[in-house]
Structure 1
């Protein structure tokens, strides 16, 4: 097969196949980002690099130094946009059959929020790919927090929002050990031993991700309690807090995020994509 024919063969033939391709690319992009985050944080835990900074933006920055780094960054940006598209598809087309009741609409809204969670990183990776530089989003979260604090009752709103974020983090731990992860990966292509290994990696990874989310929620609560935008923090500050607890705490969460990245890569290869 010639190169043009191979490229044409790779082009999705239907809308559904296009959505499936975008979703799989999205899982792969998320997997790469979390693997890099986990590796950077593990290096910090073992004293191999200064600081514990290992947020998503720094993780994608390291792709710049690799051969064809701009191409890799472009693929990460495209993949994250693909993940956002898949999450919106889940919400709009109700691919998971959640229905239009209050609970179903809440879950479908969660799909939208889950997709939008990566929108800033997709923009950041895209800017790096095109321009070779981009501003990190840490200051923007503090600016947004300052605006909320200026509203009447803004401090209470931040406290409530922080508690919701903490709840989301705790829910990740519930999700990890409730058996729901078995609905994420198509295990029919795996042996029983491989399926167990993938499931355990997912449990460890999702739990570690929940810990980081809960810490970020704690920062939001503190920003509301103190009426101080500088108290808010992102993944970067969450790793700093874990580092302050000691290398064991940081290393455990870092290993978990690495496991989550590997789990996402397996999900990219063997996804369960319903309704498309």
Structure 2
């Protein structure tokens, strides 16, 4: 990673900061809309469905609005900026995580996040250009299908399940340990407002962790049953919650949590210190 870093040019600091803030804002918009559509699906408002409440469903929703292609193009650009920022964090080590095992692990997580949001940016751009693909849930099933066709395919899908579960537990750990607070503490807001926003972040990280854990469970089922159709993304996770006991209330609670997560991204975009070297 260090050798690669030496060959990755660093944009001017102001560009990096602006890209990061624009990217965090775009991410906040996406999560707020995911939460709103999931809440509407939970209580059957406006004919929304759980499967249409994932990120690809949000992009379709944006595209259907007046001048939606312009709005979606802005979101795609914002997610691309977020991707570039994450890649810079990973390879330039702007957060000073170091080169030990723990630091490399964190930087790999930054890079993985960049790849994920880069794929979302690409998908949104495809929709803007009129080249829409399958849903996010279908892409998860396609991944499971491809892996199951490989030698030791069930083990490979199981590894994806474990990795996804670790990501989910990490989100919940961030919330419980209060480590996420460091990103916005000392923001200059009044104490009551800052405390309220920080609580929103805690709820948001927990909700996001729950969604990741359900996705991990779906991949585990796909691995155990060698059935790729049992895998899925956030839309499938929402459907899983809806089909549970008191499903509408569970899905509604998680949806509100995702809205809080989006709002917390806005707070990060405004107040987080962006390191550039």
TM norm. shorter chain > 0.5: yes
Q: Give 2:162's aligned residue.
A: 163
Segments of structure 2 that go 5 or more residues without pairing to the other structure are: 1-10
Give the Cα separation in 1 of the matches to 2:236 and 2:132: 22
Segments of structure 1 that go 5 or more residues without pairing to the other structure are: 1-13
- 2:208 is the alignment partner of 1:209: yes
1:140-159 per-position Cα deviation (integer Å, ceiling 9, x unaligned): 33222222112221101211
Contact (CA 8 Å) 1:77, 1:123: kept in 2 or not? yes
Q: Give 1:36's aligned residue.
A: 33
The two structures have a TM-score, normalised by structure 1, of: 0.90
RMSD: 1.6
Contact (CA 8 Å) 1:64, 1:70: kept in 2 or not? yes
Which portions of structure 1, spanning 4 or more consecutive aligned residues, are displaced by more than 6 angstroms? none
Give the Cα separation in 2 of the matches to 1:194 and 1:162: 38
Give the Cα separation in 1 of the matches to 2:61 and 2:199: 28
Q: Give 1:174's aligned residue.
A: 173
- 1:208-247, aligned counterparts within 5 Å? 208-245=207-244, 246-247=247-248
- 1:48-197, aligned counterparts within 5 Å? 48=45, 49-53=47-51, 54-131=53-130, 133-185=132-184, 187-197=186-196
Change (3 A) 1:207 1:271: same
Q: Give 1:15's aligned residue.
A: 12
Q: Tell me, what secondary structure is at the counterpart of 1:222?
A: helix
Contact (CA 8 Å) 2:184, 2:271: kept in 1 or not? yes
Give the Cα separation in 1 of the matches to 2:221 and 2:137: 17
Give the Cα separation in 2 of the matches to 1:94 and 1:165: 24
Moved more, 182-191 or 144-153: 182-191
Give the Cα separation in 2 of the matches to 1:120 and 1:88: 13
The two structures have a TM-score, normalised by structure 2, of: 0.90
Aligned positions, number: 263
Give the Cα separation in 1 of the matches to 2:185 and 2:269: 10
1:96-135 per-position Cα deviation (integer Å, ceiling 9, x unaligned): 1111111111110010011112122111211222227444
1:200-254 per-position Cα deviation (integer Å, ceiling 9, x unaligned): 0000001100000111111111111111111111111000001112111101100
